[in-house]
Chains A and B, each alone.
Chain A
């Protein structure tokens, strides 16, 4: 006997994410899910963002496998930060973010940044109730990332290319990368969290709080 089921495997995650999204919208909170490989510069981008925040009130949820090193870096900037340790999991899910929200006063914030676990594959599947997804890549990772991981780039609102100060030293075909991002229909912001180059464009995007 065949029984039709047609049930989403991640229904519980999606339901919770949907509830959180509705709540965030009520507060007018802009929630950014930052994804990218380990070492791409996700934490550096968040630190640079906090030091340029001005009167924009930003809170941070830090996803990490086991350490609180990133959260400590963020806390130095005086922002509200909550650490989630995934204990080895390859992504954040909605329930982890939900729990973190008990330790942060989102009603006092304009923007909530969620730093996902460093990974270009698994985070794609897990809706966190975010308003926007940002993929951070960097020059040393190579110019073929869009071709190799199209799913994450396709799910992103914008792409940030970090470490552009390394362009003279690393074989990276910028034109090819730019073309692949344009091809997938996403906006590209080029920055260096080291020199500060391009961060004004990033802050402009964040301040506009428009996907």
Chain B
């Protein structure tokens, strides 16, 4: 395969477009609200009416407004007169014939269909960079990705740039890791690239495990070739020939689509040996995680790929120096890799114009909770949280008011309503005791109990602790018990003192990020909602209960 073949393939796919195309979302959200029967019903209805050659049905990935799923979009070629392109939500299999009527122009009425304003604030306030092709390409057909330009950036990286130039481009773009910590991506790449030549690895961390987060899942299910292309570019830049995608086992659709994507790319010579007739070889293998949250931590992830127990080890040495089987290893998150092709295509300067001074580009969030419009949103960095909640999300449902927004899952914190004007960037969120995290965003209203929220996340961390270091293994248990007592109105101020002391220990003495960030939900709710803790205290009566003053043995 060379560039001409790639372009020919893209053109063939473009030529092949039908007059009317019906796109149905088959990402996890819409599948779970029943898009599979809709696809079958539409297929049958189109065939029955003899519309099949003129109208094509395409199974695509996430169209973002997940709460309105299953979503069906209709595209019409400009040369064809009517019907109007449109987007429908909550489509049922029974409505397939009505939809086909609309397509067939037989019946003007769209009775029962729920049209969605695709120019509304949910879509218009977003900026698509990473998700530009999500919901447009068919994740199980490589041709459809190629038609929209997939693997062009890889070709450019291999033939027009040398590895150092690719690293330089990524560095200049200012891209920072989208897994949550925000480490400069270019610096990470440069570090691995500068290690002595020899075996190196590229790893994609697709072990997204935060409660309330589903961004990486959407990207993998909707546009897998984008991630593969980003990894291949990274491999070329740092001198690796082997990559691993570590996906959590709870994402069967993502796994199957990645598997298909890898096979299709190999068949076309876009992965494997002598890619684009160059000397660059790159093989990608999937590794399925067994569902341990800690395996999202990079050193635990490395152990897991090696076939060992998924426990973290202290850093340094960082994986860039000593990773998989002791070799230099580049680990980035799904969204980070998904940013790479567009940075090569549009250039570093273009990318730096999006976002803020220290946080460039866009960020994908999974917006959920007490909000009218939930789903996947992509916004430029620096947008105030309030814009995401009120304009994109449409604010809280009737009769409720926003109390706080939880970002960053169990490693993050709750930002109170009065601070919603905070811009979304790494530093601002950190200053509030929260983090960007991988991008989970849960809106909470006046009925949500902040002690309960802290207790929920502490239970998660307690259950997911790997058990290696004492502060995390034993400390989270004690913190959970104290939170439980406080929530039940069974605690005194002494328990809160004990809780805060434990927060300090677990945060500073734990071995890995799981333990170090486990107290964050407690600390941030204490910072902004301390009264909710204090309002539950009971007056201490007589000697303290047995749980606190056990004699030393």
A and B physically associate = no
A interface, CB within 8 angstroms of B: none
B interface, CB within 8 angstroms of A: none
